[in-house]
Amino acid sequence: MKKIAIAMIILLAMPSNGLFFNFREKAVHFHINHETHVPPFLFWRWGERDVIIEYRDVVKNNDSVVANVTGYIAIPPSLPNQDIIDIEFETLPSKILQDEYGQSVACYEFKLKPKESVVLSWRVKARIYNIRYILLPFLVGDCIPPDIKEKYTADGEMYKIHDPYIQQIVKSVVANETNLLIKAIKLHDFVIQRLSYALDDRWDDAPTVLKRGNGSCSEYCFAYIALCRAAGIPAKYKGGSYLAETPPYNDSIFHRMVLIYMPNYGWVPVDMTFDEWILHHYAFGFHSNRFFALMTGGGASRYLNWTYNSHYESNAKLDVASMARWLEWKR
């Protein structure tokens, strides 16, 4: 049997969010109340870092007409890899909404004159960790909760899981394997061997990416999620910012990774772009304390669409420049 790389457990239960306002001058603070969860198996979480990160969108009306704008900015959640201490919004959102995947967003409604711009931003204080999960095939169950199976094995325009090319890959790679973890590793290995990293200004769907043989981190995610879902493995993604240098550091590229659902474990991180660059299974079940998650999602969110930081709708042509600025990362 194929050698299983050591990875670590993710917490099955997600923190409960208590979201409330605390007005201080013009700023708005969102405090997240979360419980402490004891993992069901061996769990390692270490290397905690206290961080201050600022997210900023500069939205400009590049049209000749007045723009009626509705904007949605993801509110970072508390997750097993990060505890949100405080989020401060410089401008009060029009309202707080939650999409079909449980992701909270700050909604802004405003107008912009031609060539006028506005800055929307938040600053977060958080504690982030390294996490590694020990994944063993005999510990993985076969009972997937119906709501998770229905939502996270569904098709989407960037997945196309019923495409003959996707179906043929799954049939060839998975064959008669029934264990969810082994199936996930086999599909992971196929994607790593098939794709090489390439960054451009567009996202293509999974069949296109796999046929072409290269893609960005988002396209790696679309490809792997499509294969997992076609094989009956629930999968979604987590988007955020990666600290590549010592703070202060500005990130305008951002990063996306996959989460796969393993019964008895929960949502397990898989970052294939790191696996291609470092070791073959290094990031299968590993989460770095240099990554901060802005959101989680499963597809075309009603508010964020396919993006993983913010999304804007308008009658006019907009130019949006997004950046995450790491101000502190310390013990």
Domain segments of the chain: what residues? 21-134+304-330, 141-297
The pair of three-digit structure tokens given for residue 4, joined into one six-digit string: 């299983």
Average per-residue pLDDT for the chain:
87
What's the pLDDT at 36? 38
pTM of the model: 0.88
**CB of 261 closer than 8 Å to CB of 152:** yes
- What 31-36 contacts at long range (C-beta under 8 Å, 24+ apart), as own/partner pairs, is 31/85, 31/86, 31/87, 32/77, 32/78, 32/83, 32/84, 32/85, 32/87, 34/78, 34/83, 34/84
pLDDT in tens, 212-221: 999 999 999 9
Which positions of the chain have pLDDT values less than 50? 1-40
Rounded CA separation 29/317 (Å): 31
Yes or no: say if 209 and 159 are a contact pair by the CB < 8 Å rule.
no
Q: For residue 43, what pLDDT is reported? A: 62
126-141 pLDDT, tens digit per residue, is 999 999 988 999 999 9
Q: What fold is seen in the domain 21-134+304-330?
A: Immunoglobulin-like (2.60.40)
Residue ranges with strand state E in the chain: 21-24, 27-30, 43-61, 67-74, 82-89, 95-98, 104-112, 117-133, 196-197, 214-215, 235-242, 249-251, 255-262, 266-270, 286-287, 291-297, 310-314, 318-330
Q: What pLDDT does residue 280 have?
A: 67
Alpha-carbon gap, residue 243 to 186, rounded angstroms: 29
In this structure, which topology does domain 141-297 adopt according to CATH?
Answer: C8orf32 fold (3.10.620)
Q: What is the pLDDT of residue 120?
A: 98
